[in-house]
């Protein structure tokens, strides 16, 4: 087991994060459209380096978590969304997803957040177990929300309350 560190993302992480993004997701965890071969950018105007923490294993970027305000209006202040969490296939099963989720929780507390929320496919059992271990509970289910590879997929709304 090498050394795992977490830091804020910077523009120079673009290529490493895009490579992870294009291979990390499958039909049980994400959307096939996210990994379309013509996707050429990881960061976007809405979702730049500031929205990401990256994990490095022995100095190599192997994962990220995307943490953003859920709402653009003051009544929803304090609610953050984990809008992405992924670890490169070759680095999985070493607790790096867990380290990133802990770091996101710490960052949310640092920002004074009161709640972290996220969506997870009903089919994504690995991620659901991980979130449960971190204190996330199901606050709602959206039945048959997506059609992926011709199959209906339920989505769960998970949340962890920080106050
Ligand atoms: C979910 C994800 C981020 C977890 O990252 P990770 O670094 O493997 O997390 P952990 O090491 O804490 O392990 C998570 C689970 O995978 C299991 N695992 C062990 N070895 C593994 C391997 N080689 N490959 C995949 N999973 C493995 C772990 O045992 C653990 O299972 P458990 O919960 O029953 O103990 C990663 O699987 C991933 O990127 N998945 C695709 C994207 C995704 O689903 N994101 C979440 C969307 S809401």
Q: Would you kindly state where each structural domain of the chain is located, as residue ranges?
A: 4-161
In a mutational test of the pocket of ligand 1, which residue from 56, 96, 97, 160 has the highest number of ligand atoms less than 8 Å from its CB? 97
> Ligand 1 within 6 A of 127 CB?
yes
User: Percent of the chain having pLDDT more than 70?
Assistant: 100
Report the pLDDT averaged over residues 74-100. Answer: 97
The 3-state DSSP class for residue 163 equals coil
User: Is 44's pLDDT higher than 90?
Assistant: yes
So what's the pLDDT on residue 87? 98
Nearest CA to ligand 1 atom 28: 93
- Closest to 140 in 3D by CA, of 127, 122, 158, 161: 158
Report the pLDDT averaged over residues 11-39. Answer: 92
Report the pLDDT averaged over residues 154-160. Answer: 98
Longest dimension (CA), the chain: 44
Name the CATH architecture for the domain at 4-161.
3-Layer(aba) Sandwich (3.40)
In a mutational test of the pocket of ligand 1, which residue from 21, 104, 126, 145 has the highest number of ligand atoms less than 8 Å from its CB? 126
Dist. CA 141–CA 143, nearest whole Å: 6
Compute, in angstroms, the gap from residue 39 CA to the centroid of ligand 1. Answer: 24
């Amino acid at each position: 087991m090498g050394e795992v560190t977490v830091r804020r993302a910077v523009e120079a992480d673009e290529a490493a994060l895009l490579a992870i993004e294009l291979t990390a997701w499958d039909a049980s965890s994400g959307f096939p459209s996210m990994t379309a071969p013509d996707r050429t950018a990881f960061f976007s105007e809405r979702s730049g380096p500031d929205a990401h923490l990256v994990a490095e294993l022995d100095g190599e970027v192997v994962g990220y978590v995307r943490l953003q305000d859920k709402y653009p209006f003051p009544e929803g202040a304090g609610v953050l969304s984990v809008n992405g969490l992924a670890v490169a296939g070759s680095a999985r099963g070493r607790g790096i997803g867990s380290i990133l989720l802990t770091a996101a929780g710490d960052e949310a507390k640092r920002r004074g957040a009161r709640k972290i929320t996220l969506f997870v496919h009903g089919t994504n059992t690995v991620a659901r177990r991980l979130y449960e271990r971190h204190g996330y509970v199901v606050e709602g289910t959206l039945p048959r929300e997506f059609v992926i590879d011709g199959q209906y997929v339920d989505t769960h709304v998970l949340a962890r309350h920080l106050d």
